[in-house]
Amino acid sequence: MGAAVPFVGPILSVAAASSANQIGKFNQDVANRNALVAEQEAAATAKLTQFNIQKFNQSFEKLQSTTKVATLKSGVELSGTALKILQSNAEQAELQRDVIEYNGKVAEAKKLEEANFARMSGSIARMQGRQQAIGYLSQAGSSLLTMKQMGMFS
């Protein structure tokens, strides 16, 4: 057993290298999972935006119909001021649709950027794990080389 003691350091270094590599891979896997979740959230945001536009369109159509009915019921013709009100409502509705769509695209882009960042972080974590593993393997090799130079084994 006494002959094996000098090899403990290099053996531990090789084990540490393996662990560092595994930790780097695990962290990369976690980051890739986070990226997938962010991409799914981006897709959900896009669907929610379309849903919000559809709901807005329904509300707007209801408002326009109510306005027309109220105008005609009061005995006013759909011309002049009444027509200008309907036209103004339509213009405002178009602006509101644009705002809903813009906000949705911004939220979607943020989630996609979050996914990209997660993947980059994962790649960095993997590289760091590899660098640590190389460091530990270097340390093991250096220890073995030193032992050989000291004549501990042939």
The total domain count for the chain is 1
Name every residue whose Cβ is closer than 8 Å to that of residue 141 and which is 6 or more positions away in sequence. Answer: 10
pTM above 0.95, yes or no: no
Domain presence at residue 129: yes
Q: In this predicted model, what pLDDT tens digit does every residue of 51-110 receive, in sequence order?
A: 999 999 999 999 999 988 988 898 888 788 888 999 999 999 999 999 999 999 999 999
Nearest by Cα to 135 from 4, 5, 19: 19
89 within domain boundaries: yes
- Convert the pLDDT of each residue in 95-151 to its tens digit: 999 999 999 999 999 999 999 999 999 999 999 998 998 988 888 888 777 777 777
Question: 99 in a domain, yes or no?
Answer: yes
In a domain, 70, yes or no: yes
In a domain, 56, yes or no: yes
**Cα atoms in the Cβ-side hemisphere of radius 13 Å centred on 92:** 11
Structural domain for 46, as ranges: 12-149
In a domain, 63, yes or no: yes
Residue entry with tokens 């590599």: 21
5 within domain boundaries? no
Q: For 2-54, how does the pLDDT look when each residue is reduced to its tens digit (9 = 90+)? A: 555 556 677 788 888 888 889 999 999 999 999 999 999 999 999 999 999 99
Query: Contact 14/136 with Cβ under 8 angstroms?
Result: yes
Is the residue at 6 inside a domain? no
Cα 17 to Cα 112: distance, rounded to the nearest angstrom: 34
